Structure 1
């Protein structure tokens, strides 16, 4: 019995030793992989958050019902605190910052709604890198900003108060005023050349009696365009239309008070906040130093999250390839690419026209090929067309040249070698949000019809980007502020929520931290990286 007891005791001790060693080995393995897990958890969380945004309506700003001018967020007093400043950061970690909004004399605010722009930039000469911080509004005057640490080296935090919540409140109110831009159309008698020009409206005008209207609206596409009826010409005589910048400016500026104007001027406007540390934060290389290969960009993989490394956009979720000329030709071989939207999408077709290259033959091709064309060697065709009114262009535009996106989708045959890219945002920032939302509803339905009759058709919808603000002129903020554009981006995410028929090309984050200057028509660095994102979904391998 004694011998058995001793053997049992020895066995117990040995078992305990094995358990301890195993536990130590397991904990060591856990420690080695912990940063990698944190990295991928962050990426997964951000990806899931993006899907959540696509599944849920946009979160309404944490705004009060009234504008408290004496509590306007003051950049001078607003506090930016780096949490865990002394932590030893590695590539793959997440740097967290708290922003405490304060108003005059440093008093803390009790409500949210401020619109920030957060960036992380490399403090070293190489690599010249930048990324976007993701802001969470806690609706109590405090905000959390998370920066994924994509690269090793010294990094600096840049947080800009684009608009205080009080200015956002003004933008929100002014946006919902219909018909605040002035449009007009000319009516021409073909025989007599008699001309009459009248005012036109992008929304229903209840003050204009039906008998005095030329209603060009198309309910089946949720498109509205109404003009005052000319005295002696029929509605069918409509010829050209234009946006009147002078009259539009007067109408828009008349919607705000002098006190509200101050909210959209310095020192509240686009002010950089002072961070609690002036020294850059040092980021060590990841442990282990190499990350697993990213998956291909597919229908359920958004390439929106990532960072700039030099002039290349590096997605953190899927493999965005860098396409040289030959790779572009191979990717688009035997394909037809239809692009319809605004001039920010026209940049894409013009870029392809030069790179592929594409030939435009005015004797055999219509105007949709003007910024595109054909390449007979690779059997590539690119066609571009502007979306329908409201179009904010000062030049006269032939009305019959425009058609709604829905009509274009319904007329498309589609198929595995057909690619469709849509972009509607820049000309809708001045309109009530419901106008673009209803237009997108009709577009989504048309996409579903197209996919049912031609399942292999690939459809992409891109979001908006940041832009320049014309030297701080008030009317540009009231009709084209980045806050207005971001709300449309949120609507696009919502509208095509996890829609298996559509890939949302989310270009917002990459524009926030872009290497070049903000511009509605960005430089080639942005255009090429946006095209790389598109092509990586078309040709993931």
Structure 2
């Protein structure tokens, strides 16, 4: 009995002791959760909208990332559906693959003196001394050295440079590949593809200091392009702000996250009407906030889209190809050009040869085809070109707005149907009816497909102001839909239009800079690599051409793009 009583006494003592410990732990966990709710929300709802470091580097900088996440999750509302481990890993690897060289922190207030100055910077064709002959099939290498406004050499990388080799008289041009040596010097490599003169052109798009600003804007102001929706019921009408990211307020939210794709979209709930009363979607405006003097980093003719001068000659004379010299072909990885211009026509390097199509051969190529186009206004431009170039392809008047669509054109005699529909939000169009807001993945899932079906899409420019994680997730959803389409109808032809360069003003640089487009272009190519899809390389077709950069490339470039498009559809036809 004494032993049993002793045992019970010990058990009671231990239970009371552990109960105290458990109570203490419970209180501790409650306090931790209460004061770290925003961090926990990040981990349990993968809202990666404000990660400032690639996830692969997350484990190395946990403390820094924690503080950044807490700051920004307190200032924006965002929510994504959970990712699969495979998608999360892919996102991590993609972020690592496009990681930009570390750019300098900026003094406050900013002074231009120590920033990159294209007027002081120079490029040199190698070898510096004469004596070498270049032949078709060779590679030309150029070294670029960057200096600041005081003429001092830069010692860090991160500048955004473009390289082009051209001969205006021959209608020839090819893009060069730029390598950042991270010490203020760069190299550019060009494939020599035609006989005769070839002139090197190096352009500074942005100094590295401007990239610092662009990175900060994305992190701190992902909602600087904002949107609106009208809600209407009878005579009552209200307008509220909408976006992927919204500042939390006392005002309730309407959640329009797509149930199938998981794409997030929110509006502030109107005061008098229900969320079901939403009738349209529109661009609200742009409101980027710069620090003092930062606008000086985005001045056309000074440090934005400015040519760099040559030290010595900018020209080389290219001799005929030497006997036994192999043909230049594009690599599957982006280490060489995908094509070039000669006599103002685009010639592919490897892959499908590009044929030239006239009105008759284009109609014959599309005979019996259904062509579905999805995306932004750069894809709509292709629809407009075809309906203007093919007289028998008549557009139906669906009484839709010219910019918005959707559009449909029919050539009854040749049994050709061409449609266009804009992609879902975020899209900077005006007055899109909510019924016409469709996500590309959902549209692809509704297609039967087959050898008479061509699917074309392009989606990039409207995602430029948002964290690139949003773009990656959108493309992952589209890719899954493409895979499903090709599984059920392997003969379906899928063609993707890449991003392209554009003219830049201050506001455009802060919202749709070529640097933003370049990052998304890299992600797009990597995302669809290895799938049975075709790319129209709009980036190189704009860069290699002599015409000025434009978000909507001029007709001669569009004509070449259409020839590439039709060559994919009808690889053995053309003139």
TM-score range, shorter chain: 0.7 to 0.9
Pair 1:232–1:432, CA change in 2 (3 A): same
2:440 to 405, 428, 433: 405
CA–CA distance in 2 between the matches of 1:370 and 1:392?
15
Structure 2 residues not aligned, in runs of 5+: 1-92
Q: Give the deviation of 1:362 after TM superposition.
A: 3.9
Partner of 1:514: 545
Is the Cα contact below 8 Å between 1:303 and 1:506 reproduced in 2? Answer: no
* Structure 1: runs of 5+ lacking an equivalent: 1-53
Q: CA RMSD in A?
A: 3.0
Assess, with a 3 A threshold, how the Cα gap between structure 1 residues 224 and 481 changes in structure 2: closer, same or farther.
same
1:228 shift after superposition: 0.9
Show the counterpart of 2:343: 310
CA spacing shift, 1:67–1:497, aligned 2, 3 Å:
farther
Matches within 5 A, 1:226-241: 226-241=266-281
1:475 and 2:519 equivalent?
no
Give the Cα separation in 1 of the matches to 2:162 and 2:494: 30
Residue in structure 1 matching 2:156, options 96, 107, 111: 111
Q: Tell me if structure 2 keeps the 8 A contact 1:358–1:375.
A: yes
Give distance in 2, aligned partners of 1:159 and 1:352: 34
Superposed, which structure 2 residues align to 1:339-418 within 5 Å?
A: 339-356=373-390, 357-362=392-397, 371-393=407-429, 395-418=430-453
In the other structure, the counterpart of 1:166 is 209
Give matches, 1:3-402, under 5 Å: 58-64=97-103, 66-67=105-106, 71-85=114-128, 86=130, 87-122=132-167, 125=169, 127-176=170-219, 177-189=221-233, 192-203=234-245, 205=246, 207-208=248-249, 212-218=252-258, 220-245=260-285, 248=286, 251-252=287-288, 254=289, 256-265=290-299, 267-278=302-313, 280-288=315-323, 305-318=338-351, 319-356=353-390, 357-362=392-397, 371-393=407-429, 395-402=430-437
Note the C-alpha offset of 1:213.
1.0
- Structure 1: distance between partners of 2:432 and 2:556: 30
Q: Closer, same or farther in 2 for the Cα pair 1:364/1:76, shift >3 Å?
A: closer
Aligned positions, number: 469
Change (3 A) 1:425 1:301: closer
Partner of 2:89: none
Following TM superposition, by how much is the alpha carbon of 1:293 offset from its aligned partner in structure 2, in angstroms?
11
Counterpart CA distance in 1 for 2:305 and 2:552 is 20
CA–CA separation in structure 1 for the residues paired with 2:336 and 2:566: 11
Query: 1:242 Cα deviation (Å)?
Result: 1.4
**Distance in 1 separating the partners of 2:408 and 2:559:** 16
Distance 1:160 1:291, change over 3 A: same
RCO higher in structure (CA 8 A, sep ≥6): 1
Q: CA deviation at 1:279?
A: 6.0
The 10-residue stretch of structure 1 (457-466 or 73-82) with the greater mean CA deviation from structure 2: 73-82
Q: Residue 92 of structure 1 aligns to a residue in which SS? A: coil
1:114 to partner: Cα distance: 0.6
Q: Label 1:56 to 1:313 Cα distance change in 2 as closer, same or farther (>3 A).
A: farther
1:414–1:457 Cα contact (<8 Å) kept: yes
For residues 497 and 416 of structure 1, do their structure 2 counterparts lie closer, same or farther at Cα, with a shift above 3 Å needed? same
Structure 2 distance, partners of 1:535, 1:433, is: 31
Return the alpha-carbon distance in structure 2 between the equivalents of residues 331 and 539 of structure 1.
6
Deviation at 1:513, TM superposition (A): 2.2
Matched position secondary structure for 1:374: strand
The Cα shift of 1:527 comes to: 0.9
In the alignment, is the contact (CA less than 8 A) between 2:174 and 2:339 conserved in 1?
yes
Shift of 1:280: 2.8
Deviation sequence 1:226-285 (CA, Å, 0-9, x none): 11111111111111221123xx2xx21x2x212322211252222211101246321112
User: C-alpha separation between the residues in 1 aligned to 2:355 and 2:329?
Assistant: 11
The whole-number CA distance in structure 2 between the counterparts of 1:517 and 1:158 is: 13
Q: Over residues 434-489 of structure 1, what are the superposed CA-to-partner deviations in whole Å (9 max), with x where a residue is unaligned?
A: 111111111111111111121211112221111122xx3x2211001111111110
Deviations 1:492-511 (A, max 9, x none): 012112223x2232221111
- Secondary structure, counterpart of 2:174 in structure 1: strand
The alpha-carbon distance between structure 1 residues 222 and 166, as it changes in their structure 2 partners (threshold 3 A), is: farther
**Pick aligned residue for 1:485 from 511, 517, 527:** 517
Q: How many angstroms apart in 2 are the aligned matches of 1:292 and 1:78?
A: 34
